[in-house]
Amino acid sequence: AEFLRLQAEIGKTIIFVTHDFDEAVRLGDRIAVLSDRSRIEQFDTPANILAAPANEYVSSFIGQGAAIKRLALMPVTDAKLAPVAGAGDAPRMPSTGTLRDALDLIVLSGSSHLTVTDPDGVPMGSLDHAAISAVLGTTVPVASTNPVSS
């Protein structure tokens, strides 16, 4: 947080070298993934690198959980919100939260959805797992009714 505040205060380009991809995602506007002999494998925004790694080297450097890392970069307002349903007993989160925060809240609460609120706490809409998956360009798998045969 202090690093980002300092960068905003001085208004200069800063080159930060790290071997921690998660740190690079948190701090960088652009990331250059370098391999042996400083060969640039991919130079792009964190969101684009996570969504479309240029090659196997970049993919392995990212590691597991690329979708969750992408969700941490996306505000809940990127998702299509459904009308608020029910008696309002769903967990709530502010519209300033990320889709990763939303997924975390849905999973930890055991609820099927949550209510997104504006800065005044007024409900804006409802968000569920399917809406989060849709932002990533994926769908929620449907459970098969046929047993797997061996």
Q: What is the pTM of this model?
A: 0.74
CATH no. of 76-135: 3.10.580.10
Which residue spans of the chain are classified as CATH 3.10.580.10? 76-135
pLDDT score of 142 more than 60: no
pLDDT in tens, 46-96: 999 999 999 999 999 998 888 899 999 999 999 999 998 766 789 999 999
pLDDT tens digits, one per residue of 6-36: 888 888 888 889 989 988 988 888 999 999 9
- Chain-centroid distance of CA 113 in Å reads 17
